[in-house]
């Protein structure tokens, strides 16, 4: 039997105080990040400041706000907090603020197949982040936004947005179109089985790109990763994450000399166990019994 887990009122008060202080520390830590975010948007010419009086009559002014982006490492621990300026896309009007908005991402089968190819042919496997991915893509129409809280919200000026801002309904599609044009211009082709995967054969070098929004899995002929990433830096502003260890929540473990590569999700599984309150339960090496013989009928069903 499990021990009783009753908590006193005093312990609950301490827990609430701890949660409040934790949130307060995160907020205080993010205040400088909000300025960094707005400076980056200004540097990338995502918006320009215009008088509120210049907004055409009847044109909606979309509100914006900051959200906290929490980046985890392969162990499920917080790697970085980041403040991001996001538009309230629910206030956009179809046909006025946007038209097409669908975008795609690579399937998990494509990710696994790409990693299997890389392992079999002893290729380099690296990872790069596209800095401010959406905000590099131009919009096909002008959208006006109010400033986020802390930046003269409701004041005499507004943002005239010229590039895709996070939160816009069409931002994913615009970024995808802009990304595809740049990659195709560099000689990459879309995989006909999964158009979110790109490949290129150039000067005896094979490169496979698996971009999931702003995370690019870069697979290339052994010894060419650095050159490929330098080429990508000419197309996008990138952050080089080095050899791929963690991608889409999956831990990538590789023994290159023995040509072994495994993917796992220990942090995700640990989270499930904790939420289900099963950390005290007995473990098993396999989800089914390995001692019970399998009948002929069951064997046929398995195959």
- Position 294 in a domain: no
Taking alpha carbons only, the member of 194, 205, 210 closest to residue 115 is 210
- Position 153 in a domain: yes
Which range among 33-37, 63-67, 124-128, 254-258 shows the weakest confidence by mean pLDDT?
33-37
Give the tens place of pLDDT for each residue, 74-92.
666 666 677 888 898 887 7
Query: Phi and psi for 138 in degrees, rounded to 5?
Result: -75, 150
Rounded CA separation 252/86 (Å): 31
Range of the domain at 129: 10-278
User: pTM for the whole thing?
Assistant: 0.75
**pLDDT tops 70 at residue 14:** no
- Position 285 in a domain: no
Taking alpha carbons only, the member of 47, 168, 186, 163 closest to residue 98 is 168
- Position 298 in a domain: no
| 3-class secondary structure, 97 | coil
Q: Give the count of domains, the chain.
A: 1
- Position 171 in a domain: yes
Rounded CA separation 70/109 (Å): 26
- Position 39 in a domain: yes
8 A C-beta contact, residue 84 and residue 66 = yes
pLDDT of 2 reads 42
- Position 108 in a domain: yes
Rg of the Cα trace of the chain?
A: 24
Residues 6+ apart with CB under 8 A from 20: none
| 3-class secondary structure, 6 | coil
**pLDDT tops 80 at residue 151:** yes
- Position 198 in a domain: yes
Which range among 20-29, 74-83, 155-164 shows the weakest confidence by mean pLDDT?
20-29
What DSSP letter does each residue of 27-78 carry, written as one string? HHHHHHHHHHHHHHHHHTT-EEEEEGGGSPTT--EE-EEEEEEEEE-TTS-E
């Amino acid at each position: 039997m499990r021990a009783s887990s009753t908590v006193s009122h005093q312990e609950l008060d301490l827990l609430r105080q701890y949660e409040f202080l934790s949130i307060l520390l995160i907020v205080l830590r993010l205040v400088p990040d909000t300025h960094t975010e707005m400076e980056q948007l200004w540097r990338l010419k995502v918006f320009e400041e215009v008088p509120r009086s210049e907004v055409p009559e009847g044109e909606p002014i979309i509100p914006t706000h900051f959200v906290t982006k929490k980046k985890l490492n392969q162990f499920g621990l917080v790697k970085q907090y980041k403040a991001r300026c996001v538009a309230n896309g629910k206030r956009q009007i179809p046909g006025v603020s946007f038209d097409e908005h669908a975008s795609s991402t690579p399937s998990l089968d494509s990710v696994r197949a790409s990693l299997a190819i890389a392992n079999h042919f002893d290729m380099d496997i690296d990872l790069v982040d596209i800095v401010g991915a959406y905000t590099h893509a131009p919009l096909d129409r002008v959208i006006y936004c109010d400033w986020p809280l802390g930046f003269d919200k409701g004041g005499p000026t507004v943002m005239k947005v010229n590039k895709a801002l996070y939160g816009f309904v069409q931002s994913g599609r615009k970024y995808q179109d802009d990304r595809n044009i740049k990659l195709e211009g560099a000689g990459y082709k879309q995989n006909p089985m999964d158009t979110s995967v790109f490949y290129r054969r150039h000067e005896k070098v094979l490169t496979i790109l698996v971009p999931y929004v702003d995370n690019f899995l870069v697979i290339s002929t052994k010894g060419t990763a650095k050159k490929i990433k330098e080429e990508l830096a000419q197309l996008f502003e990138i952050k080089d994450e080095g050899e791929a260890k963690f991608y889409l929540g999956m831990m990538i473990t590789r023994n290159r000399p023995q040509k072994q590569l495994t993917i796992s999700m220990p942090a995700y599984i640990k989270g499930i166990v904790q939420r289900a309150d099963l950390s005290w339960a007995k473990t098993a090496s396999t989800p089914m019994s390995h001692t019970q013989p399998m009948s002929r009928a069951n064997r046929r069903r398995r195959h």
